[in-house]
């Protein structure tokens, strides 16, 4: 049974490193949108990728967000503990095994008439005999097949706060990743399934995230529909970019909060975030909450110029 109260917003970082200025800006925006609309606000630790995630990184991220003054409604949700819920969701969906390697998919995607970034359906309509053969070939290599959604729609429409109706393609997304038979674990669950199941579980009906994820929203909303869950309203916000116009990253210098705090106070970092949103002179998230007008947020990427 869920312990969460709807409606809600959330911030859901992957604990694979310290949060940088762009991550922090998006977190502040997610908090502002949730709190201004009277929603609960949850922190979710998206740590299903066991190879990249660490408990230490998760704790550092939580501490960084709190240092900026952000508050979260309890409890914090950890995806690595949610394997049973993902398995139950998987049982509700129309799925099939996929035996393709990354190379198989790359080669199929480069074929004439292939849709860029879309799974071409290589394993969708295999016969049982073909499946048995591919399954045995994988088993001999000590590998498990991936599990894909058998989508019954080619596109889906979502509602985005800034873009209105947005219609995008839907394909047979991976729900559970393949892997070695001796290494199968909760970390094999795929992001697309986990994020939808957890949003439903937490009563999240408002999703604020970077606009580089807009293209994935239709497939996730379709998956929510197939699971009988409420489709959230999306708010895709502009990214922070480095001097070369690419998404902010370590290559752009001292960009994490830990690095910034070597030269600034947390209040000064908040002031920089507020300034990037158009509110110069604001140095606390409480004051920013009072002044924030979402209709005035620039739709353009914000250029990182800190030295």
> Does domain 87-188 sit in CATH 3.90.800.10?
yes
- The answer to whether the beta carbons of residues 166 and 217 sit under 8 Å apart is yes
Query: Strand 95-98 and strand 146-149: pairing?
Result: antiparallel
Look at the block and give the residue holding tokens 């309203």.
Answer: 233
Question: Bridge-partner residues for 146, per DSSP?
Answer: 98
Q: Can you say which residues are annotated as belonging to the binding site for ATP? A: 250
Q: Residue 84 has which token pair?
A: 């049973």
Q: Is 11 helix (H, G, I), strand (E, B) or coil?
A: strand
Q: Can you say which residues are annotated as belonging to the binding site? A: 10-14, 46, 98, 100, 119, 123, 191, 209, 250
- Residue ranges per structural domain of the chain: 8-83+196-302, 87-188
Q: Does the pLDDT value for residue 149 go beyond 80?
A: yes
Q: What does the pLDDT look like over 62-91, one tens digit per residue? A: 999 999 999 999 999 999 999 999 999 999
Return the beta strands (E) in 217-294 as ranges. 233-237, 240-241
Q: What does the pLDDT look like over 245-274, one tens digit per residue? A: 888 876 666 689 999 999 999 999 999 999
Q: Can you say which residues are annotated as belonging to the binding site for Zn(2+)? A: 98, 100, 119, 123
Q: What is the CATH code for 8-83+196-302?
A: 3.40.50.620
Distances from the Cα of 34 to the Cαs of 60, 207, 305, in angstroms? 23, 9, 28
Q: Can you say which residues are annotated as belonging to the binding site for L-glutamate? A: 10-14, 46, 191, 209
Q: Is 201 helix (H, G, I), strand (E, B) or coil?
A: helix
What pTM does this model have? 0.93
Q: Is the pLDDT higher at 115 or at 240?
A: 240
């Amino acid at each position: 049974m869920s312990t969460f109260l709807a409606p809600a917003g959330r911030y859901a970082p992957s604990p694979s490193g310290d949060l940088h200025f762009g991550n922090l800006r998006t977190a502040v925006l997610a908090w502002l949108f949730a709190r201004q609309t009277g929603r609960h606000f949850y922190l979710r630790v998206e740590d299903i990728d066991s190879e990249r995630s660490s408990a230490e990184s998760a704790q550092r991220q939580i501490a960084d967000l709190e240092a900026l003054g952000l508050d979260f409604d309890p409890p914090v949700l950890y995806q690595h503990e949610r394997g049973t819920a993902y398995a139950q969701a998987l049982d509700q969906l129309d799925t099939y095994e996929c035996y393709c390697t990354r190379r198989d998919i790359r080669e199929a995607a480069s074929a004439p008439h292939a849709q860029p970034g879309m799974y071409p359906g290589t394993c969708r309509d295999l016969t049982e005999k073909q499946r048995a053969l591919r399954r045995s070939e994988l088993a001999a290599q000590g590998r498990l097949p991936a599990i894909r959604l058998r989508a019954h729609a080619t596109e889906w429409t979502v509602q985005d706060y800034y873009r209105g109706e947005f219609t995008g393609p839907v394909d047979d997304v991976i729900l559970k990743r393949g892997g070695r038979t001796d290494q199968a674990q909760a970390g094999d669950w795929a992001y697309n399934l986990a994020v939808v199941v957890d949003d439903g579980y937490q009563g999240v009906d408002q999703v604020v995230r970077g606009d580089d994820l807009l293209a994935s929203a239709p497939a996730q909303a379709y998956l929510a529909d197939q699971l009988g869950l409420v489709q959230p309203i999306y708010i895709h916000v502009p990214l922070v970019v480095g001097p070369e116009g690419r998404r902010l990253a370590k290559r752009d210098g001292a960009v994490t909060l830990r690095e910034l705090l070597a030269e600034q106070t947390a209040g000064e970092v908040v002031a920089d975030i507020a300034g990037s949103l158009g509110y110069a002179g604001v140095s606390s998230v409480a004051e920013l909450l009072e002044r924030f007008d979402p209709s005035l947020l620039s739709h353009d990427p914000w250029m990182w110029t800190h030295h």
